[in-house]
Structure 1
Amino acid sequence: MTAGFVANAVLEEIQRRVPIVEVVSHYVTLKRQGRNYVGLCPFHTEKTPSFSVSPEKGLFYCFGCGAGGNVFTFLMRIEGWDFRSAVERLAERAGVPLQSASRQGARTSERERAYAIYQIAAEAFRRCLAGTSGQLARAYLKHRGITLTAAETFGIGFCPSGAELQQALAREGVSVAEARRWGLLGEARDGRLYPRFAGRVMFPIRNLTGNVAGFAGRTIADQTPKYLNSPETDIFRKGEMLFGLFEARQAIRESGRVVVVEGYLDVVSLAQAGIREVVATMGTAFTGAQLQLLRRFTDEVLVCFDGDDAGRRAAERAFIVAAQAGVWAKAVFLPQGEDPDSFVRSAGAEAVLAAFDRAVPLADFFFERKAPAPGASLARRARAVSEVADVLQTVEDPVLWELLVRRAAELLGVDEHLLRGRATRQAGQSALPPPVPVRAEQNARPEEVTLVQAIALSREAAEEAAAKNAWSLFASPDLASVAKELAEAWSRAEDPLRVLHALPLEIQSAVAEYAVGRGPLAGANLVQVARDCMAKLLQRQRRRQFEVLTAELRAAERAGDAQQIAVLAERLRQLREQPEQA
């Protein structure tokens, strides 16, 4: 198993040099308890410590919420970083060089230079806001009810129309070409350079490591457009970033939810009122990439909309995006004519929180909007089913698809089987009776997960699984691939626990739970566990094969195809005669 951009040997060296207890201690107060350390879990609210760290195994596990993994996983969870960022930060701390191809190294160097330039600009903008050139900007923020303390928290600044920015960049060795490339300076037709964001209040957009990746500038005059963003680059893609997420990370974890709004000042105003679990889109429609980013912190996503028709149309689009991303999101509708900034200033924080608490599932809102009125014509009812089915066919998550089909049928007042068949067939799935329900594959999953856990924890279990080609029994291709890679890691004399970050979250958590001496596998004969799982998976696989062959045989009988009937009957006979054990 590899980590993609860095060798496993390097990952192991990083983990040896930076003990997990040392890293976790920066976030959690730990106390020694036997061979492990315990403390209050940083991933959920609790009063009694259920969070355990094993220095011997290099793993953590929470018995309250089930979070678990190694030092990379911990930083990915608590900081919201991707794997690369976690490795780079720990490698720097450990003094371990990361070797990379020259082209990749050049791209990394270019990104770091861009971050440095944007940081210089951000500091210059903050100085300008506090100086004489920022007088009008300060008056604007005061008019909007934004305090200087709140402005400082979010790094808000001001870009004057004079030469202050160019001079600040030049003092730090930033060339004109660099400033133009990263969207800080523009060039007029006569060759004169000018600040691209002149006359705008500046909002720095930070990534999850805290680096300024770009800016959004809000005019305080009558300029158009009202908002101007940095150009799209390798480090700044509007559809993949959220204003305020870096600042809101801890509040999101503490509250267990995140609220998505449209305006940057909405975020600042709400945070100023004590509601800090709020982020804003970048002047674009809510995207699946942004949803996936938020899922690193919480599964409860609230999206705030205006109460007018435009807001409700936006909510319909947001439901489709959320469903396609596999997220069960909720909608918050404010009183008509209000946005979060105006509402919190006029009604107060308690009224805003009450509105958040009244959030309705986006799915319910969408289906109710599509539902025909009582007494509607058959054509209108058929159109409603068709419109909803067209959306459901794009939902890839099987569990969410199942829930949405049931809820849609209930709210539309139509037969569930009718809607299920329409959505399923549109998704290109088999229409042969009897249909295999989504939950059938889900029922197989516990044995698959347990088998992968046993393979990760035991060389002997891995060898047993490899000898019997256990991967062919999995209904989940992803878990089959993980199981095979773990077994291959054992065969190469690698420790799979050192690459735990590459495993699915449920595997990470269960393995970590075992490592701290708890969980259903603690003390179990892992080889026997693997054998039992393989036996159950074989039974399930054969049952699925039997159901498919039986359905095909019935279809052949209805068609009167004697040759196909004979072939299928023989295959069924052979399947019945196969031995029961894997």
Structure 2
Amino acid sequence: MIANETIEAVKNIPIEDIVGRHVDLKRKGKYYFGKSPFTEEKTASFSVTPSRGIFKCFSSEKSGDGISFIQQLKGFSFTDAIKDICQSQGIQLQYIQGDIYSAEEKKKREEAYKKKEAIQALLDFALTFFQLQEFPDKFRKVRKFTLEVLDQYKIGYAPHGNKLLEALRKNQYSIELAIEAGLIGRNDEKEEYDYFRGRVIFPIFDRWGKVLAFTGRTDAYYFKSEEEDLKKNKKHVPQKYFNSPDSVWEKGKNLYALNIAKDHINKLDYAILVEGTTDVMRLAEHEYFNAVAPCGTAFTDDQIALLKKHTLNVCIIADNDISKKAGKKGKGVESMESHAIRLLHEGFRRVEVIIPPVEGQDPDGYLKVKRKDEVDKFINSRMSFLDEYLLNYCTAQGALGAVEKTEVIRWAGEIIENIPDDLFRQSAYENLCRQWKPFNQYKLPKKAKEVELPKNIGKESMDDFFEFDFYEKDNCYYTYEKRGERRICAFTMQYLYFVVTDDIPLYVIKFQNTFGRSTIKAFTTDETIVASEFRKQVSRLYGRFLFEGREEDLNRINLKLRKGVKKADEPQQIGYNIEHDFYIWGNGILYNNELLKANEFGVVEVKFPLKSEEDFLKVGNDTVIDLAGKDYLIESPEVARNDLGDKLTTLIESNQVNILKYFFLPFADTKGLANNVDGSAQKLFTLNMNNKINFEKWAELLNKVHGEHAKLMIGYYMMSLFRDIIYKHNNSYCPLLSLFGPPGTGKSTAGRSLARMWGSNHCEEEGMNINNDTTRGIESHVDKFQNAIIWINEFSRNIEKDRVGKLELLKTFAGGSERKTRSTKNYKSNNAKNRNGTIISGQDSVNFDPGLHDRCIPLKFEPVEHNKEAFTTLKGFEENGLCTQVTAELLRYRKVVEKKYTETAKKVRAELERRLKIELDKGRMSYFPDERIILNTESVVAPIVLFSDLLKYPFTVEQVYINAIENIRYKVSIKKSNNEVATFFSVVAAAGLVYGNHYKIEKENDGTGRMKLFLRLRLIMPLYRSASQRQGMSPFNESDIKDMLLMHKAAVETEKVEEKYKLGDRSKGVNFPRINKTNTSALVMDYGILAEDGLDVLNQEVNDYAKDQQTTSSYSKKTETTKSKTKEMQKTIEGTAHPLDDFFKTDKIKLTHFLKSYKLKKGGTDADAKKYLQQLIDKGYASQVRHDWAELNQKKETIKVSHDTILKILKG
């Protein structure tokens, strides 16, 4: 029979080595994938998990370990599978003589097994025993580990004396076995004692969590000074660390804490390697659970192999024992170097190192007093051993003298020379040569080849062979081996671009076969480095394209051909690009007023001029530079500057030195390289540069078509074009534009006209339909653009039903806040953000939602006669995309806007406030507008004013101001009356009113056809109060409610009707037949006007109501009526009591909180806030104070404050 030693040896072979002989495996992260060897399949469903030592075949549902794989693949028995693996892996078979165990052998094996189990039970008992002991106070104070970490790593304590021995005897464990387990010792006098005494215990587990042994650290001293004191006083100095005896376990075959770290290493795909157990625990304190350490021994091959099962990426943190005075490395740093070198030579790819900055400290000591953010910064400071540490050390040593330089060149050369992967080794060599010129003296040894290459291949191909092990002949690639010439492929390749897409990076490659046929194809990075994938993709090319090579051949070809390949980045958005200061269109990039068109691959080349030698030296290595019209690959800017000498300065001064950068616009790609990209919206975003229209002509046409609305439309267009500048000035805010009105009034025409400034069909013919498009679809669309306009159409009050979705989304469009979205096509998560001006159009206004209303500039469209000739001309320009020329014209002035906008905006703000104060003083407004209303208007007026000296308008700036003030007055009138009435209706909508009892909605025979709302207010009030309290609100009293409703425009009669049919307060004559009330009182309002403001919240039980019958009264008449009522109310109040008395009797308010909230929202000082409140008091706007308090006091902290106290505070 096969010996157990052989079976264990087979089980320790990495499963990927066993399976890899039968399946072409491809590594992806911590797994390997390949096609099933058990079934015929096109897509790989077979996986190998090295960390668990198992395979899984989803097509055949087979699974198991490496031995099981061979059994199922070849139909072998267990014994035959072991033999097969031993033969393929070079393991010597060991047999137990005889086909069966003898009775004596069987007895021995059973005894050995029982003994092993008994020892494991002893170790488990000891582990529990140590954990139950109290730690010394000094350990807690010095080490400062949390209880969570101590428990996680099962740290314990071995007390002084023989406490464990006593416990073992008490629980009747075998003392002889305890001695074998390394828990108990026996002296020359045959006396037993605890092996670990007065020590902090660190248990060591295998990777599956089974305890193997213990390490004990003395508690007699923790610092070097304490150790020296013991020696000085001639006291016993205990050994610092005690480990379980070697007879118990093999130190070099396990890693400390791998049982905890392995899952974290698998997840993160990198491990942290430290020297000591406490270093591991200290990192865990700061949530780095992927740390391991050698178990009190040198870093062994077995430990490296164990780590390799989980990752090929390791960060080593050293003990800092560098002596700055002596300038020498200590054992800790030397150990780190040794570990790093060995890992690289064992095939690890990313090996990084960190040395604590404080001399004489290990990771535990250094990180003990650090915060989490400081530890994160420390870990993120790790440097590549090859690219940084080795380079820095070589540079420092090389500067000391010829001897040191020679030694360090040889040392670095031997490190790189022994990296097993050819491509990695060559890249590391070239990188160090480029960064440290003396290393060029070291030549990587080449394999001796006795070859006789064909004489007609040319010197360049011969050089390629000796450097890259292949050469070109007859449009094919060949290599040469012992048997002679071997063809790798029947074609040659040219890497055109490396395209960094938003999805998967692509290489654009030109292929030309030996028969002269050429083709261009985009491959993913994986498809260019995995031979099987590359072979498959090449075979799909039309024509005789054949790859016969191996993976190492492909690696060498890539090493040569990828040098200097042009990298093309895909921008995240089109429109204005802040990083490069150009404007991206669907057909190219507008840079310095020139449209650089995309080539057939969708790639645009942009030249960025360098202004000085300083700029030249900042250019990265391997950058393509345009020098006097020719492209050069600059491998090192320092070397290039030295080579060019004074010529470089001359070229720079004559603007002949440019960095070449390439940008990939997938929507402009006609070759279908990125065939999974939609790009339909971006394709419509097309610039048509022409001389048929300019800004002056366009503005004149727009003004003729849209009249007064054209002014703010033009301002909004300008704001959108430079939105990033205005958005920043406004503290991350830009308003939306609301276009509303009945059908056929021109609102969609207006939205379309502004959208067409970015393409003949940008936003398509009717904009984005907010009812049909999903929230995710809208988010995804707006995220494609920057500094453009997005047009959302068909807005209506019905959107309120989707309040948590689209309505809230529109509000975020003003603030530009990010929202998580996910692409349904490529399954990617992104942070979607609106960076554009946004137009909302529809029959309904946004008034029903105060939050959205505050963020919009309203333009109400009413039936007017268009200038048909101007309309036709403008439409022709728009349909042919010619209006984009105007956008290109304005983009020339970006630097002017950047420089002057802040100053202009301040002047515009001051002028708007001056004019608004006049409006307020003359009684044409009921209160001074909120900050946001003014900011909205400022954002569109300021661009017009800024451009007034640069562009010609069909109107004056004075006319713009007049139009802007009218717009503000309109918005104030809506907001004033709506705020308090909207609150009332929102409460009573949930108060349980009964139709026909508390209210009714019906027409009257007054000749107007109006639908009217009849409210029995006195009957409603008890339900209103209860509903208010349930909603955590303070209810208004009945008289205040009545006043508010009567002041609303829906209660103001503007029609000539009989007295009994008038709106307002009817003391009698109203019939409620359902409850037999035929002559009662009610408050009557125009339900159509309420509907306009989104206040039609009460259920209707009539069928003859239609929204197209709504009648809108004259704005000016209602304003005058409201103003008149306000003045009358003020006179009444002033004659009786202070206007705030009633307010403070019915509401609880703390003035200091009011002032604090005011400052938080609107800025300014206490004095500003008090002045604001005093103005409200002087003007008698108690209701406005109430509204502001409800809006501003988010914390709702309230106490009663007397009228006298308020006056005292305000006057003080």
TM-score surpassing 0.5? Answer: yes
**Larger strand proportion, structure 1 or 2?**
2
Report how far residue 400 of structure 1 moved.
Answer: 3.8
How far off its partner does 1:399 sit?
3.8
Verify the 8 A CA contact 1:260 1:304 in the aligned structure 2.
yes
- Which residue, out of 362, 365, 381, partners 1:342? 365
**TM-score scaled to structure 2, two decimals?**
0.29
Distance in 2 of aligned mates of 1:359 and 1:259: 11
Aligned to 1:175: 174
* Greater length-normalized contact order (CA 8 Å, ≥ 6 residues apart): 1
Residue 289 (str. 1) matches residue 302 (str. 2)? yes
Indicate the residue corresponding to 2:394 in structure 1: 370
Q: Which of residues 347, 350, 354 in structure 2 aligns to 1:332?
A: 354
Among residues 332, 353, 361, which one is paired with 2:384 in the alignment?
361
Number of aligned residues: 402
Distance 1:87 1:60 in 2: 23
C-alpha distance after superposition, 1:141-160 (max 9, x if no partner): 45422233322211222223
Contact preservation (8 Å) 1:275, 1:349: no
State how 1:13-32 maps to structure 2 within 5 Å: none
- Aligned partners of 2:183 and 2:195 also within 8 Å: yes
Segment drifting more, 100-109 vs 369-378: 100-109
Report 1:478-493 matches (<5 A). Answer: none
225, 231, 234: which is aligned to 2:239?
225
Alpha-carbon distance in 1 for matches of 2:109, 2:64: 14
Closer/same/farther in 2, CA of residues 352 and 213 from structure 1, 3 Å limit: same
Q: 2:47 aligns with which of 40, 65, 69?
A: 69
Q: Structure 2: how far apart are the matches of 1:68 and 1:283?
A: 39
Q: Report what 2:164 is aligned to.
A: 165
User: 1: CA distance between counterparts of 2:363 and 2:402?
Assistant: 41
Scaled by the length of structure 1, the TM-score of the pair is 0.56
Question: Judging changes above 3 Å, is the alpha-carbon distance between structure 1 residues 156 and 333 closer, same or farther for their aligned structure 2 residues?
Answer: same
Tell me the secondary structure at the aligned position of residue 52 of structure 2: helix
Tell me, yes or no, if the aligned pair for 2:205 and 2:257 is still in contact at 8 Å: yes
Pair 1:387-2:411 in alignment: yes
Task: Kindly state the Cα deviation for residue 68 of structure 1 after the two structures are TM-superposed.
Answer: 5.2
2:368 aligned partner, one-letter code: R
Residue aligned with 2:369, SS: helix
Find 2:126's aligned residue among 108, 124, 127: 124
Match of residue 148 from structure 2: 149
Is the 8 Å Cα contact of residues 166 and 195 (structure 1) preserved in structure 2? yes
Classify 1:371/1:432 alpha carbon distance in 2 versus 1 (closer, same or farther; 3 Å).
Answer: farther
Give the whole-Å Cα distance in 1 for the aligned partners of 2:7 and 2:351. 34
SS of residue matched to 1:306: coil
1:321 aligns with 2:339: no
Distance (Å, rounded) in 2 between the aligned partners of 1:411 and 1:124: 55
Q: Tell whether 2:263 aligns with 1:250.
A: yes
Which runs of 5 or more residues in structure 2 are unaligned?
Answer: 11-27, 56-62, 72-76, 83-94, 222-236, 323-329, 452-461, 473-485, 489-525, 540-545, 555-1212
342 and 398 in structure 1: CA distance in 2 versus 1, 3 angstrom threshold: same
C-alpha distance 319-345 of structure 1, shift in aligned 2 (>3 A): closer
Q: Quick one: structure 1 residues 54 and 316, their matched pair in 2 at CA, closer, same or farther if it must change by over 3 Å?
A: closer
**Distance in 2, Cα, partners of 1:356 & 1:388:** 25
How far has the Cα of 1:382 moved from its partner? 2.9
Structure with larger Rg:
2
Secondary structure of 1:352 counterpart: helix
Across the aligned residues of Structure 1 and Structure 2, the Cα RMSD in angstroms comes to 5.3
Alpha-carbon contact 1:232-1:238 (below 8 Å) kept: yes
Residues 1:122 and 1:361: Cα distance change in structure 2 (over 3 Å): same
Q: 1:521 to 1:214 in 2, by over 3 A?
A: farther
Distance in structure 2 (CA, Å) of the matches to 1:232 and 1:285: 14
Taking the aligned partners of 2:538 and 2:397, their CA distance within structure 1 comes to 58
**1:133-532 aligned within 5 A:** 134-137=133-136, 140-141=139-140, 143-169=142-168, 175-222=174-221, 223-233=237-247, 236-309=249-322, 310=330, 311-327=332-348, 328-336=350-358, 337-363=360-386, 364-371=388-395, 377-414=401-438, 416=440, 418-421=441-444, 424=445, 429-430=447-448, 440=469
Would the aligned equivalents of 1:330 and 1:360 in 2 still touch at CA under 8 Å? yes
In the alignment, the residues of structure 2 paired with residue 107 and residue 294 of structure 1 have an alpha-carbon distance, to the nearest angstrom, of: 32
**Structure 1 residue 187: deviation in Å?**
1.3
Q: Call closer, same or farther: CA 1:440–1:431 in 2, change over 3 Å.
A: closer
Q: Distance in 2 between matches of 1:265 and 1:59?
A: 52
Shift in Å at residue 380 of structure 1?
Answer: 4.2
Counterparts in 2 of 1:218 and 1:110: CA distance versus 1, 3 Å: farther
The 1:119–1:358 alpha-carbon spacing in structure 2 relative to 1, beyond 3 Å, is farther
Cα distance in 2 for residues equivalent to 1:238 and 1:69: 32
Q: 3-state SS of the aligned residue for 1:346?
A: coil
The correspondence of residues 22-101 of structure 1 with structure 2, limited to 5 A, is: 69=47, 75-76=52-53
Whether contact under 8 Å (2:341, 2:415) holds in the other structure is yes
Instruction: Name the CA distance, whole Å, in 1 between partners of 2:258 and 2:423.
Output: 28
Q: 1:208 to 1:138 in 2, by over 3 A?
A: farther
Give CA deviations for 1:211-265 in whole Å, capped at 9, x if unaligned: 11221111112453211112224x7333332211111122222333211122212
CA distance in 2, matches of 1:129, 1:351: 31
Aligned pair in 2 of structure 1 residues 250, 119: CA closer, same or farther (>3 Å)?
Answer: farther
More displaced 10-residue stretch of structure 1: 271-280 or 157-166: 157-166
Shift of 1:272: 2.8
8 Å CA contact 1:119, 1:212 repeated in 2: no
- Residue identity opposite 2:312 in structure 1: D
CA distance in 2, matches of 1:403, 1:358: 23
Code of the aligned partner of 1:409: C
Change (3 A) 1:60 1:127: farther
1:520–1:116 CA distance, 2 compared to 1 (3 A): farther
Question: What is the rounded CA distance, in whole Å, between the counterparts of 1:387 and 1:297 in structure 2?
Answer: 29
How far did 1:107 drift? 8.2
**Structure with greater helix percent:** 1
Distance 1:401 1:110, change over 3 A: farther
In 2: Cα distance, 1:387 partner to 1:398 partner: 19
**CA–CA separation in structure 2 for the residues paired with 1:145 and 1:412:** 44
The Cα of 1:372 is off from its aligned counterpart by: 5.7
Q: Secondary structure at the match of 2:311?
A: coil
Contact 1:259 1:302 in 2 (8 A): yes
Following superposition, the deviation at residue 330 of structure 1 comes to 0.5
Deviation at 1:318, TM superposition (A): 2.6
Q: Which moved more, 1:199-208 or 1:321-330?
A: 321-330
Are 1:261 and 1:280, in contact at CA under 8 Å, matched by a contact in 2?
A: yes
Q: 1:241 to 1:403 in 2, by over 3 A?
A: farther
Partners of 1:242 and 1:67 in 2: how far apart? 33
